Amino acid sequence: MPSKTKKPTSFHWGSYYAEIENEKIIGVRPYENDRDPSKIANGIIDSINDELRIRVPHIRKGYLREIRKELANSKMSLTGKRSREKRGLDNFVPVSWEEAIDIVAFELNRVKKKYKNKAFFAGSYGWGSAGRFHHAQSQLHRFFNCYGGYTKSVNTYSYAASETIMPHVIGISYRQFLDTHTDWNNIKDNSELIVMFGGLPLKNAQVTSGGVGKHTTKEYIKKCAQKGIEFINISPMEMEADILSKAEWVKIRPGTDTALMLGIAFILETESLADKDFLNKYCVGYDKFLQYLKGISDGKAKTPFWASKITGVPSNTIYNLAKKMSLHRTMITGAWALQRQQYGEQPHWMITVLACMLGQIGLPGGGFGLGYSAENGIGNPVQYFKWPSLEQFKNPVSEFIPVARISDMLLQPGKVFSYNGKEIKYPDIKLVYWAGGNPFHHQMNLKKLVRAFKQPDTIIVNEIWWNSLARHSDIILPATTSLERNDISIKHWDQTISPMHKAIEPVGEAKSDYEIFSEISSKLNFKDKFTEGKDEDKWLRFIWEESKNKAKEEGFTLPEFDKFWKNGFQEVLSPKKQTILLEQFRIDPEKNPIPTPSGKIEIFSETIDSFNYKDCPGHPAWLEQEEWLGSNLTKQFPLQLISGQPHNRLHSQLDNGFESQNKKIRGREPIKIHPQDAQTRRLENGDIVEVFNKRGKCLAGVIVSEEVMKGVVFLPVGAWYDPIDDGAYCIHGNPNVLTEDIGTSSLAQGPSAHSTLVEIKKYTKELPEISVFNKPNIVNK
């Protein structure tokens, strides 16, 4: 009889039991206390051992030929070129772990000696394992900090503009801001109206960075609706949460939310609905903002009529919104999607100003929040606790870039750019090391990224599958999945903790990131510093012991490690009281000032104003984007592309698995288009279309849907990049061949993916074969 076992594990998209038979994964069963489990996990079953799995180390052929000569002659390359123009096109040669580690160590030593540590880029953005120990980015950073440091990246692709602007406005760090969002129980008990700019995307709430124990967002939305709370969705798209909550849908042109909010603010001010007591006591700069709002400073009063012409929202709807918001206990929410556009700092700042004008910040059920449903954990009732993690050590290198500026860094070393009040010079990067992420998913303008990836001397990656990143690298080291190693899942916005039991042996010769860096550090003579003499088991016990000690200080108890490891999923950190954002500041602003220069909420920021940025003034403002539905470019490209998260994978993870593949249309990523736009172009469900603009093209499969408003199309991110021609044409459906690689503004330099206009036409030629799900050419020499 075949033996069947189950092992507890966690991913960013949920907690499960891996079901094993004859040492193979045959299924994943959700944690029994998760009432709304994600199906994303189904993608791991067939992909964990598919033909795309990287089983042994590989080195790009042109690179290997040259570096073997250098090693044989004991000479360091003078040029470092190693046929790097063939990245993305070259064959790969399987090599032994011994040779791969020798070459990696040789190259790290060469670059360090010749160019110093600032020539290493190890920002390595990505969502690897949800485990506390085998977190790829932490392992990579620890390794390089032991070796003398690296150029890092700051901010996130998810909310770069928001996390840069909001500390100027409310003082606290963005992590603390998210940690202290008004929780869903408080909203359920006290709110009367929830106004959602950008909606509440439940497909995004399947995941949380660091893992999910129980998916709760949908349940809380249902409870709010059952309590009679009214929902208003202000968005170009209608989503599942809007249907659950029976939300009123206010259709708005993408990227114009700030203009709409200004129209609402105009009514609040001119009809004496603004809470002047709150504005005077808790805020600074309203008088200067008022000069702009009334048109005194620029000659344009921000009336509902003015806002209507920009947004497409009727002026009477804007008026009624203002009246309704002022008459009810109102929670204003802003999706992270709002700030992933040119001038993305403005809408989240303006949401804060609206909440200030209503005067409900710090009150039960009132105020604002940014990112509800963007991850499951935001607003999830839980007692805050900062869990210990792997020590990364201090980075001695001061150079950094905003995360979305990687292409510019590689293409323009030495160029000076603005960021958050500073003038910064791009470093000259000679070696890129990536682990636990995929820039060919995150980064805009992939043709530009391909060109950028040909610049460094060497690109090294720890990778599980032959995805786009692996195919554009020189040295590929096979990494394990989280099911092939032991770890601990302790989540920052969730009450569920659990061991992550190793379910199967590593596929092929794959190693964990910790094992890989341990071997490289041994070759470079700092293994003792990197490992501290600990193996995986000792590290897990060490991290757990730290957690136990810290928990005791915080007033709760954790079991001994062996008991924790045996007991599987456990619940901790039940909240002692409801959380209200900025509650203590509201109670006593003199005793509990927020850490802004004024100690108050900054409607006008003297700091930002002093930067003299034309693209980010000292108060929130409507700034017209280069690409939006009101621009002249619509004559050529009349549709605005929204490229949000998919519902059946996390970013590009598991795009090779069943759950993602099953939703493709003739092998292409699906694109949603409004019925009128489809009819104009004579398109039907299931047609393959070419989506194009001046930057690139991609193929996609049509879904005709009224979930998107007329003039808008939705193409999810994460389809594995499958380029033809010069790299600007993806035959699989990656939208980032279409997006522009520009910063949100000089302040945040965040991604501006949603500021993208396109046109669509039916594809009538013979469909090119998808190649990205076939292994690249592997040769033996």
- At position 346, the amino acid (one-letter code) is Q
Choosing from 16, 31, 127, 721, which is the catalytic residue? 127
- At position 168, the amino acid (one-letter code) is H
Q: Are 387 and 492 in contact (CB under 8 A)?
A: yes
Cα 748 to Cα 174: distance, rounded to the nearest angstrom: 13
Rounded to the nearest 5°, which phi and psi values hold at 691?
A: -100, 125
Choosing from 125, 306, 419, 565, which is the catalytic residue? 125
Alpha-carbon 39 to chain mean position: 20
Please confirm, yes or no, whether 319 is among the known catalytic residues.
Answer: no
Please confirm, yes or no, whether 174 is among the known catalytic residues.
Answer: no
Q: Are 252 and 347 in contact (CB under 8 A)?
A: no
- State the Cα angle at 20 between 17 and 23, rounded to 5°: 145
- At position 614, the amino acid (one-letter code) is K
List, as one string, the DSSP characters of 555-575: T-----HHHHHHH-SEE----
- At position 278, the amino acid (one-letter code) is F
Cα 776 to Cα 88: distance, rounded to the nearest angstrom: 9
Exposed/middle/buried for 440, CB within 10 Å: 0-12, 13-18, 19+? buried
CA distances from 62 to 54, 68, 80 (A): 19, 10, 12
Question: 283-299 burial, b for 16+ CB within 10 Å, e for fewer?
Answer: bbbbebbbebbbeeeee
Alpha-carbon 177 to chain mean position: 17
DSSP E strands in 215-300: the ranges are 230-234, 248-250, 283-284
First vs last C-alpha separation in the chain: 44
User: Would you tell me the crossing angle of helices 315-327 and 257-270 to the nearest 10 degrees?
Assistant: 60
Query: What is the phi-psi region of residue 255: left when phi exceeds 0, alpha when psi lies from -120 to 50, beta otherwise?
Result: left
List, as one string, the DSSP characters of 131-178: SSSS-HHHHHHHHHHHTT--BEEES-TTTHHHHHHHHHHH-S-HHHHH
Name the DSSP class of 543. H
CA distances from 736 to 349, 450, 697 (A): 27, 12, 9
Strand order in the sheet with 120-121: 92-94, 58-60, 475-478, 458-463, 431-435, 120-121
| DSSP H or E run through 332 | strand 330-334
Unique residue bearing structure tokens 């998209």: 13
* Residues annotated as catalytic (active site), given as ranges: 125, 127
